[in-house]
C-alpha cells in the first residue's frame, strides 16, 4: 500500500462545538477542509495498527463525498477495518451501538443533526470514542489545536467504495465492510423493551404517528414500528431520508414538526405521536392533545422505566443537563438515587454512564437516552414511552397529570434568538456575567433573585472542570432563568433563554405554559436587556 501525503495548510476555525464541527456545506467543500479535520482527529487519537473505525451519517448532502475521502484517509492512517452503514447511513445512536458492539476504536459521525441540509445548508463531522460516545472535551480541544498546525493529510489511491450494497471490499490494506444500518440497532431495542406487550396494544387498536422528517430515522422506524411491532403501514411519515430533508429543518419541535402537532391536536388524533431529528438522536413526544416537554419526558420515563425489561432492576442514577428542568430531580429524590447536573452536550454524560453512576440521561433539547449506548437516542425514547403506555394502558395526558399530581409541575420553555451578530450576543453575555454578583436580593415583579452564577461543572469521575457553561439566575421558590449561547449554530450567534417555574402538586397544574412563565419572560428582558443589545423584541423559536 502506497501512502500518499497531500500537503495542506491549516484552516482557521475548525473548533468542534457542542456536538462536533458544524459548518455550511460550502465551507466543508473547500479543498482539504474535511480532509484536514479527519486527519487531525487521527493524528490525535493515533489508532493502533489494525483498529476498527465506524463511519456513518444522517444521509445529508455531502455525506457520501466525505465518507469516500474518510475511508481512504483511514486506510492511509493504518486502520485495519472500516464499518460503514449502507447508503452511508447510520443514525447517531446506531453508530454508537455499532462502535460498542464491534469493539471499534471509534467512529466518525457525519451529521449536522437538526440543522437543514443541502448545498447551501449545513454539514458536520463528529468523532466518537471507543465507548461509543462523543469525544470528551480534552480530545476535541486537542483536535482543534492539531487543526491549527496541520500541514498534510494522508490518503491512498483507491476507487470509491460501493456504499449501496452490503459486503466487504478492500481499500489499500484495509477492509471496508458495508453493513445493514438498521439490524443491529433494532435487535438491541428488542432486548430492552417488551415488544410482545406493545404488539398486543397495537392489535387492540393503539395507534401512533411517527414523523421521520425525511431524515435518518425513516428506515429504523419502518423496520421497528411497522415491521417488528405491527403498526399499520403509513404510521411512519416522511420515512425516506432525503439529502435536503425535503427542504425542512429536521428538528422535532412545535415549529418544525407542526404537521404532527396538527394531527395530534386534531379531531382524529391517534393515541401517540412522535418525531425524531436529522441524525435520530432527538425525540418529540406528543399525546392526543398533550405535548410533553422533553424535561418532563425525562422525569416521566425515569419514574416508569422499571416497567420495561431493560430497566426492571431499577435505575442507578439520573443525569440531566443544567438547563433541563428539575422535574427529574424530584423523581430521583423519590427513588432515592442520585441526580447529576452536567453542562449542555451529550459528551458530559459519558463518564457517568461508563462509571455506572447514571442509567438515564436527558436534555431539554429533546434528547433522552440511557446506558444502552453513549448517545441520546430518539427511537429509544419513543419505544420506552410505548412500552410504558402499553403496560399501564393509560393515555399520555393521564400519565402526565398523574405525574404532576405526584411531583408537582415544572413549567418550562426555551426561547431562542437566532442568527444574532456575534459581537452583540457576546456583549449581552459579558454584561450579564459582570452583573451576576449584584443580582441576589433584587426583585423583578414578585420574583426575588436568590442566587446567580456562571455554571461550572466538576466531573465526579475524572475530576475535570468545564467552566462558563451558562449563566443562571435562580429565584426564591425554585423558578429559574438560564442564558447561554448555542454551540451548534453555523450562522452568527444563537441566544438561548431557558425559563422554568415550579408549581407544587397542590398548586395550579392546569395553566398554559406562556401564562405560567409570563413573569419570568419579563424578568429575563429586564435582567439581560435582550432588546437593548440585539434589537429583538421576541424570540425566533419557542420550544
Ligand atoms: C444543542 C442543544 C444541546 C444538544 C446539542 C446537540 O446544543 O441545546 O442540548 O446536546 O444541540 O444535539 P447548543 O449548543 O446549540 O445549545 V444534536 O441533536 O444537534 O446532535
Ligand atoms: Co441530533
Q: What is the CATH number of the domain that holds 486?
A: 3.30.310.50
Which atom of ligand 1 is least distant from the CA of 19?
6
Domain boundary among 407, 442, 465: 407
pTM of the model: 0.96
CA distance 390 to 388: 5
Same domain, 244 and 386: yes
- Residue 120 domain boundaries: 3-181
Instruction: Find the 1 Cα to ligand 1 centroid distance in Å.
Output: 40
Same domain, 274 and 386: yes
Same domain, 166 and 220: no
Residue 403 buriedness (CB in 10 A; 0-12 / 13-18 / 19+): buried
CA distance 454 to 470: 6
Same domain, 450 and 362: no
Same domain, 146 and 213: no
Same domain, 171 and 227: no
Number of domains in the chain: 3
CA distance 513 to 300: 18
Same domain, 258 and 172: no
Sequence-distant (≥ 6) Cβ neighbours of residue 159 within 8 angstroms: none
Give the three cell numbers for residue 275.
418525531
Q: Taking CB atoms and a 6 Å cutoff, what residues make up the pocket around ligand 1?
A: 18-19, 113-114, 277, 281-282, 321, 344-346, 363, 365, 367, 486-488, 496
Which atom of ligand 1 is least distant from the CA of 278?
18
Same domain, 387 and 472: no
Residue 356, classed as helix, strand or coil, is: coil
Name the residue with cell 387498536: 205
Instruction: Find the 367 Cα to ligand 1 centroid distance in Å.
Output: 8
Helix, strand and coil content of the chain, in percent to the nearest 5, comes to: 35, 25, 40
Same domain, 206 and 173: no
Q: What is the CATH number of the domain that holds 76?
A: 3.40.120.10
Same domain, 173 and 298: no
Instruction: Find the 270 Cα to ligand 1 centroid distance in Å.
Output: 29
Domain boundary among 363, 391, 407: 407
Asked if 492 and 388 count as a contact pair (C-beta separation under 8 A), the reply is no
Same domain, 219 and 90: no
**Tens of pLDDT along the chain (543 residues)?**
899 999 999 999 999 998 999 999 999 999 999 999 999 999 999 999 999 999 999 999 999 999 999 999 999 999 999 999 999 999 999 999 999 999 999 999 999 999 999 999 999 999 999 999 999 999 999 999 999 999 999 999 999 999 999 999 999 999 999 999 999 999 999 999 999 999 999 999 999 999 999 999 999 999 999 999 999 999 999 999 999 999 999 999 988 999 999 999 999 999 999 999 999 999 999 999 999 999 999 999 999 999 999 999 999 999 999 999 999 999 999 999 999 999 999 999 999 999 999 999 999 999 999 999 999 999 999 999 999 999 999 999 999 999 999 999 999 999 999 999 999 999 999 999 999 999 999 999 999 999 999 999 999 999 999 999 999 999 999 999 999 999 888 889 999 999 999 999 999 999 999 999 999 999 999 999 999 999 999 999 999
Same domain, 209 and 327: yes
Domain boundary among 181, 210, 235: 181
Amino acid at each position: 500500500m502506497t501512502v500518499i501525503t497531500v500537503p495542506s495548510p491549516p484552516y482557521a476555525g475548525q473548533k468542534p462545538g457542542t456536538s462536533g464541527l458544524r459548518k455550511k456545506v460550502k465551507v466543508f467543500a473547500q479543498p482539504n477542509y474535511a480532509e484536514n479535520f479527519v486527519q487531525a482527529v487521527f493524528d490525535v487519537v493515533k489508532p493502533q495498527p489494525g483498529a476498527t473505525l465506524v463511519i456513518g451519517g444522517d444521509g445529508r448532502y455531502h455525506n457520501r463525498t466525505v465518507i469516500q475521502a474518510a475511508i481512504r484517509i483511514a486506510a492511509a492512517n493504518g486502520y485495519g477495518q472500516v464499518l460503514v452503514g449502507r447508503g452511508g447511513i447510520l443514525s447517531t445512536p446506531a453508530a454508537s451501538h455499532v462502535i460498542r458492539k464491534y469493539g471499534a476504536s471509534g467512529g466518525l459521525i457525519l451529521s449536522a443533526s437538526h440543522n437543514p441540509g443541502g448545498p447551501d445548508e449545513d454539514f458536520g463531522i463528529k468523532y466518537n470514542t471507543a465507548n461509543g460516545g462523543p469525544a470528551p472535551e480534552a480530545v476535541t480541544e486537542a483536535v482543534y489545536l492539531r487543526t491549527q498546525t496541520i500541514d498534510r493529510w494522508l490518503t491512498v489511491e483507491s476507487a470509491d467504495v460501493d456504499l449501496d450494497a452490503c459486503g466487504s471490499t478492500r481499500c489499500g490494506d484495509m477492509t471496508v465492510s458495508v453493513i445493514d444500518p438498521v439490524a443491529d440497532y433494532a435487535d438491541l431495542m428488542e432486548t430492552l423493551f417488551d415488544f410482545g406487550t406493545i404488539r398486543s396494544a397495537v392489535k387492540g387498536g393503539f395507534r401512533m404517528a411517527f414523523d421521520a422528517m425525511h431524515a435518518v430515522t425513516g428506515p429504523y422506524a419502518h423496520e421497528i414500528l411497522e415491521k417488528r411491532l405491527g403498526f399499520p403501514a403509513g404510521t411512519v411519515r416522511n420515512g425516506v431520508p432525503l439529502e435536503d430533508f425535503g427542504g425542512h429543518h429536521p428538528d422535532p419541535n412545535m415549529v418544525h414538526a407542526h404537521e404532527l402537532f396538527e394531527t395530534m391536536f386534531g379531531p382524529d388524533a391517534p393515541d401517540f405521536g412522535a418525531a425524531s431529528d436529522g441524525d435520530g438522536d432527538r425525540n418529540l413526544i406528543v399525546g392526543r392533545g398533550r405535548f410533553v416537554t422533553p424535561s418532563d419526558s425525562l422525569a416521566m420515563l425515569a419514574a416508569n422505566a422499571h416497567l420495561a425489561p431493560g430497566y426492571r432492576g431499577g435505575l442507578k442514577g439520573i443525569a440531566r443537563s443544567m438547563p433541563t428542568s428539575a422535574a427529574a430531580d424530584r423523581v430521583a429524590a423519590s427513588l432515592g438515587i442520585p441526580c447529576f447536573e452536567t453542562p449542555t452536550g451529550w459528551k458530559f454524560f459519558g463518564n457517568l454512564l461508563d462509571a455506572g453512576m447514571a442509567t438515564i440521561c436527558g436534555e431539554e433539547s429533546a434528547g433522552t437516552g440511557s446506558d444502552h449506548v453513549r448517545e441520546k437516542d430518539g427511537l429509544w425514547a419513543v419505544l420506552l414511552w410505548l412500552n410504558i403506555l402499553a403496560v399501564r394502558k393509560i393515555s399520555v395526558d393521564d400519565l402526565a397529570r398523574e405525574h404532576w399530581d405526584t411531583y408537582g409541575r415544572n413549567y418550562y420553555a426555551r426561547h431562542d434568538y437566532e442568527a444574532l451578530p456575534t459581537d452583540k450576543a457576546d456583549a449581552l453575555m459579558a454584561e450579564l456575567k459582570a452583573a451576576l454578583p449584584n443580582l441576589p436580593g433584587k426583585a423583578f415583579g414578585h420574583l426575588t433573585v436568590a442566587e446567580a452564577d456562571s455554571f461550572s461543572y466538576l466531573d465526579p469521575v475524572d475530576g475535570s472542570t468545564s467552566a462558563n457553561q451558562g449563566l443562571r439566575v435562580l429565584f426564591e421558590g425554585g423558578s429559574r432563568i438560564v442564558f447561554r449561547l448555542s454551540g451548534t449554530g453555523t450562522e452568527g450567534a444563537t441566544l438561548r433563554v431557558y425559563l422554568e417555574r415550579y408549581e407544587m402538586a397542590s398548586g395550579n397544574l392546569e395553566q398554559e405554559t406562556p401564562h405560567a412563565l409570563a413573569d419570568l419572560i419579563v424578568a429575563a428582558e429586564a435582567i439581560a436587556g435582550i432588546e437593548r443589545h440585539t434589537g429583538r423584541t421576541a424570540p425566533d423559536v419557542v420550544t
